[in-house]
Chains A and B, each alone.
Chain A
Amino acid sequence: MNKHKFEDLDVDKFLAPENEKRSVVAPDGSTVEIDPLKDYFCQDRPEVLKPKSAPVEKFLNWARAESLWVLGFGTGCGSIEIPPLVTPRFDMFRYGVQMRPTPRQSNVFIISGYLAVKTLKRVIRTYEQMPSPKYIMALGSCTINGGMYYDSYNTINRLDAYLPVDVYVAGCMPRPEALLAGFAKLKELIKAGKAEKANEYAENFDWYKANQKKIIKDWNMPDYNW
């Protein structure tokens, strides 16, 4: 496993004050040198989750498909389509889909609409903090080909250049019914063992990172934020 080298990164230019190297006096009087980028973040690259034996994997996939926990993170106008899903009219809980407040507890990330570069940086950090297996569902034409923001100076055109997408839900914006159809499709893929995009992200890590760094010019975080 390759360890990522922080020495290669030119992070000093944009480094946030809380991430600067500093020395702290410990309770016993000794001074401790702290480099937050090395000490507070894991430096390992993402790992490919190898499948278990066929019957076990089939059972695991069934279990994964029946408990899709969605991270409460809205990026664009599509985030307004998610609250109705929780209400009795659409009620996504009957399909085993529920919202979670932190990335550590969730395994589905809904990218709901257009994505500004500034938001993409937060999305990447959040996505990498989610435990594998994890799935991305991309809503709306903005994540597919830019949609009505295709010529904007600050929104990305296609999401799959920066993060691996399992399911697209087309529309501008898709209605909650379409979202439910998207969840059904995602379940199908997971049960068939085809929702392996998180592994693809780990395999093509360098390609994704190069694309992300091409547009996020003030890159001031570790390469992988686990």
Chain B
Amino acid sequence: MIDLIKDIESRFETSDYIQKLDHLAFITVEKEQAIALVTYLRDYRKYTDLTLLTAVDWLEDGVFQLTYLLNNPTDLTEIGVRVMIDRENATMESAHHLWENMMTYQRELREMFGIDFPGSPRLEEPFILEGWDDLPPYRRDFKTKEYAEKTYFPRPGRQSNDPATYMKSKMYPND
């Protein structure tokens, strides 16, 4: 895979190359060049399968990390193309023209993280949540427990124990 990485590094502005396994590597690329790199991998380097597109919310750094995970069915290697985008007004170029299933991933990210992909088809349609009117729930500043308590009538009298201390007190009461 190292030849491929060198080739990518000579063509695109990349950083943070990580070889996780023999057949799995991750590379971070500038936002403007991300779709160009993904297209290059698909059309010239046989990474023809989109395994997934996913996002991570780095709240402290104020960025979303998008990962385009691509699979090469001929030599069974995988490469993850990582892109950092701003959390404020998060927008990313749409790649629905490259793979048909990209549209679904982009709909999901739009609903769960609030990342916009202008031009992606059926983006406004609800994906899992219907009629959601709060912060996108996968954002880390969305307080899911507070939301559940406010919305879903918690039954009074519910108790929670820390499993480690509770089992210790049950099994070794003398310690």
Q: Which A residues are within 8 Å of any B CB, using their own CB?
A: 14, 117-118, 121, 144-146, 150-158, 161, 211, 214-219
Given contacts A14-B131, A150-B148, A217-B130, 14 further A-B contacts (CB under 8 A): A118-B130, A121-B130, A146-B152, A154-B128, A154-B137, A156-B152, A157-B148, A157-B152, A158-B152, A158-B153, A216-B131, A217-B133, A218-B130, A219-B131
Q: Which residues of A contact B130 (CB under 8 A)?
A: 14, 117-118, 121, 216-218
Instruction: Name B152's closest neighbour in chain A (CB-CB).
Output: A157
Q: State the majority secondary structure of interface residues on A.
A: loop
Binds A, one of B45-53, B56-64, B93-101, B139-147: B139-147
Q: Which residues of B contact A218 (CB under 8 A)?
A: 126, 130-131
B155 touches A217 (CB 8 A): no
- The residue in A121, A146, A215 that gathers the most chain B C-beta atoms within 10 A of its C-beta is A146
Q: Which residues of B contact A157 (CB under 8 A)?
A: 148, 152-155
B147 touches A146 (CB 8 A): no
Q: Which residues of B contact A121 (CB under 8 A)?
A: 130
A-B contact pairs, 15 of them (CB 8 A): A14-B131, A117-B129, A118-B130, A145-B154, A145-B155, A151-B145, A152-B144, A153-B134, A153-B137, A153-B144, A154-B128, A158-B153, A216-B130, A217-B133, A218-B131
B158 touches A161 (CB 8 A): no
Count residues of chain B with CB under 8 A from any CB of chain A: 21
- A14 nearest CB across to chain B (Å): 7
Q: Which residues of B contact A117 (CB under 8 A)?
A: 129-130
Contact with A along B131-175 (1 / 0, CB 8 A): 111100100001011011101111100100000000000000000
- The residue in A157, A161, A211, A214 that gathers the most chain B C-beta atoms within 10 A of its C-beta is A157
Q: Which residues of A contact B129 (CB under 8 A)?
A: 117-118, 154
A153 touches B142 (CB 8 A): yes
Q: Give the docked Cα–Cα distance between A150 and B156 (Å).
A: 12
Q: Which residues of A contact B142 (CB under 8 A)?
A: 153
Instruction: Name B155's closest neighbour in chain A (CB-CB).
Output: A145
A150 touches B154 (CB 8 A): yes
- B148 nearest CB across to chain A (Å): 5
Q: Give the docked Cα–Cα distance between A214 and B153 (Å).
A: 11
A154-B137, A217-B131 known; A146-B155 Cβ under 8 A: yes
A152 touches B155 (CB 8 A): no
Instruction: Name A211's closest neighbour in chain B (CB-CB).
Output: B153
A150 touches B158 (CB 8 A): yes
The 7 closest A-B pairs by CB, nearest first: A218-B131, A217-B131, A151-B145, A157-B152, A145-B155, A153-B137, A153-B144
Q: Give the docked Cα–Cα distance between A202 and B122 (Å).
A: 39
Q: Which residues of B contact A216 (CB under 8 A)?
A: 130-131
Cross-interface CB contact of B132 among A156, A214, A217, cutoff 8 Å: A217
A153 touches B147 (CB 8 A): yes
Q: Which residues of A contact B148 (CB under 8 A)?
A: 146, 150-153, 157
Q: Which residues of A contact B158 (CB under 8 A)?
A: 145-146, 150
Instruction: Name B132's closest neighbour in chain A (CB-CB).
Output: A217
